Structure 1
Amino acid sequence: MTAQLSVIVPVYNESETLPQFHSRVMAVLDALNMPADLLYVDDGSDDGSSDWLDAQQVADARVAVLRLSRNFGKEAAMSAGFDYASGDAVVVIDADLQDPPELIPTLIEHWRAGFDVVYATRESRQGESWFKRQSAALFYRLMDRLSDVPIPRDTGDFRLLSRRAVDALAKLREQHRYMKGLYAWIGYPQKAVPYAREARASGRSKWSYWRLWNLALEGITSFSAAPLKLATWLGLFTSVIAFAYGLFFLLRTLFFGNPVPGYPSLMVVILFLGGVQLVCLGIIGEYLARTYNESKARQLYFVMDYRPGGKMRPRQAVPEQGSADGGSLHNVSGQ
């Protein structure tokens, strides 16, 4: 059987860039020497993107549209795409054209050479502020140091995965999803492909600094217990300092008497110890909140509508999201 490619595109309010993106990605698929389909995952768009996607699905049998019941976030939208993609190789790419679709043939070449995960690594980042570039570089290097598994630096979600890599991801149904870490966690042979990231074709990024900060917390708490260890060592360090400080005052009182203690030094000690305690409680709270959310075992997403392309290979089963082991299957017909 001829190998087939599936391209997953998570979409959230990208009506300004979708026409140009669609034109470029379809030109790439037309030039491939293998059958391919395009799966748009509409993550609750409300700017007209849904209507445009429906029109493309009717016009081209290679286009499928998976519409989620609301905006669940990019990580959940990508997971939904992996659940429904049927190709032997699966590419995930954003619709903002910062990641060039023209790189897909290169990813396919490395996949044919035997790599299960072929990820695109950014050599440069055009159209982004100095602060965003530097903070992103710092975060990737911090994750590399803290993570229990090596996570490639300067690498986003643009990549190709083999069928067995996609099936492995489908078994990971955790609620707090940091996909870049999950790609690395499943293992299998992986290959980096360097490229220059372009500026957005139009519109504004949906990733505010607040959302990026929350994503960074997801990454750190999902793949490292280092903050908890830091809280332990910080508490131990402050205890030692407090003990030494108390011993100093005891000896000074025994040998030199007890002068009236200074109010500023007392307030500094109280505020310092109180701040350390609050920081440690906050770190523990972040992990506890994630444990609480995982214990509820909610589904990652709900599908409002699924319109497969006429040339898509049928896939009869996707992971049961609410199952205890995350790996049982159910039929997708009637979704």
Structure 2
Amino acid sequence: MGPETVSECTPASGAGVDLSVVVPFFNEEENARLQYERIAAVLDRLALRCQMVFVDDGSGDRTWSRLRTVAAGDSRVRAIRFRRNYGQTAAMAAGIEHAEGTILLTMDGDLQNDPEDIPRLLAKLDEGYDIVVGWRHRRKDRLLTRRIPSRVANWLIGKVTGVPVRDNGCSLKAYRARLIRMIPLYSEMHRFIPAMTSLAGARIAEIRVNHFPRRYGQSKYGLSRIYRVLLDLLVIKTLLSSAARPLLWFGTLAGAALLISLGALLTALVNPWSLPDNPVLIPMGISLLFGSLAAFAMFSGVLGELVYRTGDVRIERLSEVTAEVFDGGTAEGGV
């Protein structure tokens, strides 16, 4: 659905929401209201039934107070507060869970993304795409600690996943809600959404978007995230390679380990004196090691099949980490 110009965006309290904008915040008291005002100004020009879902990821400052005030004055806003800091991916997942729109749009709460790009993302989505990814082609971040690591990570992600997105880390993205709700989000997985949705045959587009320097507060990103991203990339590669048949993938690994184990065992039984100094212990040890690896691989494959067939399994339900939801002037505690 393409954007049109009208006097005001319809409040989300009515039946059916077209667009939900999900924004996570963490210690952004200076930015919270400003970001709301910038988003609201754009949504007011769209002929869509709109909703804004703001998630406070356990901030230690007055971010939650700012978000509650905003929600109290605008029926389109739903504000959610975590009991503690769980990270950007968990905050996005909670926002997506509470969003009601048929189209979801995510962006950061630090004022570096430009809400004026929202109509352009929606117009591109209207061309038949399932996901539209923002590309910060003129990124306003530090070269050594942000931009260079990001370029390396994006290149590596593209090579491993086969999905050539130039800016996986850009939070400004638009999605078909039915698709994004299929994706389990944890760790740093929000940046791998395009790769994961490619499993379902999603059509992905990328457009240039604006990017501004941070005006208030401190960046929450750093080089420490690189290790987690690399581990998540390993998980994604496994999913892309064997998501539908985990037992086949792990079974192949188990078969190779079992062959090595049997070969070592035969060496110990048939010709125990073929190895110097330690005639039996070395091949027997190798046999035991690879036999255990084969058993573990088969167990992992069976477990993977069970998980795949039963669906998404989460350690913690989002309702259990949510302290409060403020929606249309009413507040309710998390379960």
- Aligned 8 A contact 1:151 1:181 in 2: no
> How many residues are paired up?
246
Task: Note closer, same or farther for the CA distance 1:42–1:151 as it changes in structure 2 (3 Å cut).
Answer: farther
* Displacement of 1:49: 0.4
* Displacement of 1:297: 4.8
The partner residue of 1:299 within 307, 316, 335 is: 316
Counterpart CA distance in 2 for 1:9 and 1:164 is 19
Pairing 1:71–2:82 present: no
Give runs of ≥4 in structure 1 deviating > 3 Å.
294-297, 332-335
Partner of 1:100: 114
Amino acid at match of 1:87: G
Partner of 2:262: none
* Displacement of 1:75: 0.6
Amino acid at match of 2:96: F
Counterpart CA distance in 1 for 2:163 and 2:141 is 28
* Displacement of 1:218: 3.5
* Displacement of 1:224: 2.6
The partner residue of 2:41 within 3, 12, 27 is: 27
Counterpart CA distance in 1 for 2:233 and 2:210 is 26
Task: Note closer, same or farther for the CA distance 1:66–1:220 as it changes in structure 2 (3 Å cut).
Answer: same
Aligned-residue identity in percent? 26
The partner residue of 2:172 within 158, 171, 174 is: 158
Instruction: Tell me the secondary structure at the aligned position of residue 47 of structure 2.
Output: coil
Partner of 2:196: 185
Counterpart CA distance in 2 for 1:208 and 1:119 is 22
Partner of 2:235: 222
Counterpart CA distance in 2 for 1:300 and 1:185 is 21
User: Deviations 1:297-325 (Å, cap 9, x if unpaired)?
Assistant: 51154211112237xxxxxxxxxxxxxxx
Counterpart CA distance in 1 for 2:104 and 2:210 is 22
Q: Pairwise mapping of residues 141-290 of structure 1 onto structure 2 (< 5 A)?
A: 141-147=155-161, 149-150=162-163, 152-155=165-168, 156-169=170-183, 172=184, 175-187=186-198, 188-210=202-224, 212-224=225-237
- Aligned 8 A contact 1:176 1:222 in 2: no
Counterpart CA distance in 2 for 1:333 and 1:304 is 6
Instruction: Tell me the secondary structure at the aligned position of residue 150 of structure 2.
Output: helix
Instruction: Tell me the secondary structure at the aligned position of residue 38 of structure 1.
Output: strand
Task: Note closer, same or farther for the CA distance 1:131–1:81 as it changes in structure 2 (3 Å cut).
Answer: closer
Pairing 1:84–2:84 present: no
Q: Pairwise mapping of residues 38-53 of structure 1 onto structure 2 (< 5 A)?
A: 38-53=52-67
Counterpart CA distance in 2 for 1:98 and 1:122 is 10
Counterpart CA distance in 2 for 1:297 and 1:162 is 23
User: Deviations 1:80-105 (Å, cap 9, x if unpaired)?
Assistant: 11111000111111011111011001
Q: Pairwise mapping of residues 90-129 of structure 1 onto structure 2 (< 5 A)?
A: 90-129=104-143
- Aligned 8 A contact 1:176 1:218 in 2: no
Task: Note closer, same or farther for the CA distance 1:77–1:3 as it changes in structure 2 (3 Å cut).
Answer: closer
Partner of 1:9: 23
Instruction: Tell me the secondary structure at the aligned position of residue 304 of structure 1.
Output: strand
Q: CA RMSD in A?
A: 3.0
Partner of 1:18: 32
* Displacement of 1:219: 3.2
User: Deviations 1:162-197 (Å, cap 9, x if unpaired)?
Assistant: 12213322xx26x44512213332232221111232
Partner of 2:6: none
- Aligned 8 A contact 1:178 1:218 in 2: no
User: Deviations 1:259-290 (Å, cap 9, x if unpaired)?
Assistant: xxxxxxxxxxxxxxxxxxxxxxxxxxxxx9xx
Amino acid at match of 1:83: E
Instruction: Tell me the secondary structure at the aligned position of residue 182 of structure 2.
Output: helix
Tell me, which stretches of 5 or more residues in structure 2 are unaligned? 1-14, 241-252, 254-299
